[in-house]
Amino acid sequence: MSPSFIAMNSPKILKEIANETSILFIKAEQNYSVFHLENGNQLTSAYTLKHYEKHLHNNNFIRLSRSFLVKRSFVKEIDKQTNSSYAVLKNGSKILISRRRLQNVIKTGF
């Protein structure tokens, strides 16, 4: 069963989502932001990830790269390798942490 897909082009998307706790992560895709929710749904917005980074509580979300804004509590661990580091999510996915953001990620308690 594939997750449902609803297109949204308004910053009202945050009101459409019951609350921030249902957001697992937001992925940038070109000039769109795709919200991945706990219930498996995906919501798409025509606003950039930078826009939502300003509107969400920064203590609950962390920017891992240009493409990902992730809920801190959804990160299981940080996997440091020789030339790269990954955030391992609770669903088993791995997201590459950009080199310039790595120190900030580690400093914030991971």
Q: pLDDT (tens digit, 9 = 90+) per residue, 61-72?
A: 899 999 999 999
- Which tokens go with 14? 């945050």
Residue 3 has pLDDT above 80, yes or no: no
pLDDT tens-digit map of 4-45: 444 444 456 666 675 666 889 999 998 899 999 998 889 898
CATH number of 5-107: 2.40.50.1020
pTM for this one? 0.81
The DSSP letter of residue 20 is: G
Residue labelled with tokens 């940038």: 28
Domain residue extents for the chain = 5-107
The DSSP letter of residue 3 is: P
Q: What pLDDT is recorded for position 11?
A: 58
Residue 103 has pLDDT above 60, yes or no: yes
